[in-house]
C-alpha cells in the first residue's frame, strides 16, 4: 500500500507488498524488496537498494549523497540488507568513487534513532548501532558487533566480529573481534563475555579466545612475539585464527 501523498519516481522498482507512508519520497533508480515498510516523511535517494522485510521509520534519510568534499556527483550506490530496521532521523549515505562506489549495510541490522553511516562503510549482519552512534567514512563493522549510544568511529577504522563498544566512546584505532571496549579515548576491557554467551559460544571457545587475548594485550609482547606464542600455546580454533588475522592485518593499529 502506497499512501497517495507519497512521491514515487517512475523508475523506482517497488514490490507490490511494500508499504509507504504519507509524504515519503522515493527517487529514481531505487529498488525496494517485498514486505518492507517505510514510514511517513522518509526520503530514499537514487541508487539505493532496500532488501525485503525492512522497516524504515519516519524522517530517516537513506541513500543521500556522501558528505565528502571529494565527491563530484559520480554514480554510487547503497545497499540495505533484508530485515534491517532504521529508526527515526537516521542517515545512511551512499558510496564514493574513491571508496569503491558502495555503502553496504548487512542483514538484520538495527540502526537506532539519529545514527549515521557515512559513505563507503560496510556493516556485517546483525549489527546494532544505538542512538547517535556515528560511523565516519570507509568504516567496516563485523557481524554481530554492537556500538553503544554516542559512539564515534573515525574514518577507515575496522571493528571486528562480536565486538561491543560502550557508549560515548571515541574510536580511533581498530577494535579486534570478541572484545569489550569503552572510554572517551577507547581502551580494551577484556572479552565481550555477555555477547559471546548470548551467541552460543562454548565455554571452551571463550577460554581459548581469552588465552589469546591475554597473550596479545596483557603481558607486554610485540605483535610478532604474541603471534608466535599464540600459535604455540593456544588451540587454533576458527575464532582464535580470526582474532589473530584481524590483528595482523590491521593498518591503523589496534586499540589496546
Instruction: List, by residue number, the catalytic residues.
Output: 119-120, 137
Fill in the DSSP letter of residue 214: H
According to DSSP, the residues that pair with 105 across neighbouring strands are 80
Alpha-carbon distance of 230 to 233, in angstroms, equals: 5
Alpha-carbon distance of 140 to 97, in angstroms, equals: 17
Rg (CA), the chain: 20
User: Measured at the alpha carbon of residue 58, what is the angle toward residues 52 and 62, in degrees to the nearest 5?
Assistant: 55
Q: Could you give the C-alpha distances from 185 to 36, 153, 188, in angstroms and in order? A: 38, 11, 10
Strands in 85-86's sheet, in edge-to-edge order, are 19-20, 37-38, 55-56, 85-86, 110-111, 128-129, 146-147, 164-165, 179-182, 187-191
Phi, psi of 16 (to 5 degrees): -65, -15
Q: Which of 22, 55, 23 is nearest to 36 (CA)?
A: 55
Cell of 75: 554514480
Q: How do 179-182 and 187-191 pair as beta strands?
A: antiparallel
Amino acid at each position: 500500500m502506497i499512501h497517495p501523498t507519497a512521491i514515487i519516481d517512475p523508475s523506482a522498482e517497488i514490490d507490490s507488498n511494500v508499504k509507504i507512508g504519507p509524504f515519503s519520497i522515493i527517487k529514481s533508480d531505487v529498488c525496494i524488496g517485498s514486505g518492507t515498510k517505510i514510514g511517513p516523511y522518509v526520503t530514499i535517494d537514487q541508487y539505493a537498494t532496500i532488501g525485503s522485510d525492512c522497516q524504515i521509520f519516519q524522517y530517516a534519510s537513506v541513500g543521500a549523497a556522501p558528505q565528502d568534499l571529494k565527491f563530484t556527483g559520480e554514480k554510487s550506490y547503497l545497499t540495505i540488507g533484508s530485515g534491517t530496521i532504521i529508526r527515526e532521523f537516521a542517515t545512511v549515505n551512499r558510496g564514493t568513487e574513491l571508496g569503491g562506489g558502495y555503502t553496504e549495510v548487512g542483514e538484520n541490522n538495527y540502526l537506532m534513532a539519529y545514527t549515521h553511516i557515512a559513505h563507503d562503510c560496510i556493516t556485517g549482519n546483525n549489527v546494532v548501532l544505538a542512538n547517535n552512534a556515528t560511523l565516519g567514512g570507509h568504516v567496516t563493522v563485523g557481524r554481530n558487533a554492537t556500538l553503544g549510544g554516542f559512539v564515534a568511529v573515525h574514518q577507515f577504522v575496522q571493528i571486528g566480529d562480536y565486538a561491543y563498544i560502550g557508549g560515548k566512546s571515541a574510536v580511533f584505532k581498530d577494535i579486534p573481534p570478541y572484545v569489550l571496549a569503552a572510554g572517551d579515548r577507547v581502551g580494551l576491557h577484556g572479552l565481550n563475555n555477555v555477547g559471546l554467551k548470548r551467541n552460543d559460544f562454548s565455554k571452551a571457545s571463550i577460554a581459548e579466545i581469552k588465552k589469546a587475548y591475554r597473550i596479545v594485550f596483557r603481558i607486554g609482547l610485540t605483535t610478532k612475539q604474541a603471534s608466535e606464542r599464540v600459535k604455540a600455546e593456544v588451540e587454533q580454533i576458527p575464532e582464535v585464527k580470526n582474532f589473530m588475522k584481524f590483528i595482523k592485518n590491521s593498518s591503523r593499529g589496534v586499540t589496546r
